[in-house]
Amino acid sequence: MPHQLETNIRVRASREKIQRKVLVLLTRLTTRSTRIAFASEKMLLKHLGFQDEDKRKPVYRIRQAVKRLEQKGLVRFEKGSVGWQIQLSDKGKAQADRWDVLERIKIRKPAKWDRRWRIVIFDIWERRRGVRDKLRILLRKAGFYKVQNSVWVHPYDCADMVVFVRAQMHLGQGILYIIAEGIENDEKIKKHFNLP
């Protein structure tokens, strides 16, 4: 049975993930206007990937996420004649824009691999655990291979991404980018990336 602390961390991470998705989705859906009617909860459920689950729980989770975002000063919401309405605050818009850019980062695959490994190593303090967890999620989404919790590898040039992430997440010297000619016992990593 998992320890209570681990359970609490998983619950908090899940809540933050939903909040991040709601913020990013609002930004993407409201590029011209900063308001969106929540009357179409079905659309939000679909975009957030909840369409196959029990109908009540996802709606509840979205509403809870919005309430938490409001408590953080990232959104304002109200009940209107056409349903719920939500508005991103300036702080929320800035945060959502950063997350949106981070989620869209893609590493270009060249025609031929240069046989070098790009290694990202980070050391982020425990008090910034949320940032550390977001960085891991971002590296996974960008296609990195996890060697250890704080050591990730990619075969293609990703220096621009690392520079951008370092600046956006205020990591400074907490993240290190290495280009290596080889990694000992890299067969598993090569297989992961379908490399010769």
Report the pLDDT value the prediction gives residue 144, as an integer from 0 to 100: 93
Helix (H, G, I), strand (E, B) or coil at 86: strand
Report the pLDDT value the prediction gives residue 31, as an integer from 0 to 100: 52
Give DSSP secondary structure letters for 108-130.
Answer: PPPSS--S-EEEEEE---GGGHH
pLDDT less than 70: residues of the chain: 1-15, 17, 20, 23-59, 77-85, 102-104
Report the pLDDT value the prediction gives residue 96, as an integer from 0 to 100: 77
Report the pLDDT value the prediction gives residue 40, as an integer from 0 to 100: 43
pLDDT in tens, 144-188: 999 998 999 999 998 888 888 888 788 888 899 999 998 998 999
pLDDT in tens, 16-26: 767 767 766 66
Whole-number Å distance between alpha carbons of 145 and 154: 6
Report the pLDDT value the prediction gives residue 138, as an integer from 0 to 100: 85
First to last CA, the chain: 42
Burial 90-100 (b: 16+ CB within 10 A, else e): eebbebbeebb
Angstrom CA distances, 135 to 82, 148, 172, stand at 38, 14, 13
Full set of structural domains in the chain with CATH:
4-104 (1.10.10.10), 117-192 (3.30.70.240)
Report the pLDDT value the prediction gives residue 179, as an integer from 0 to 100: 92
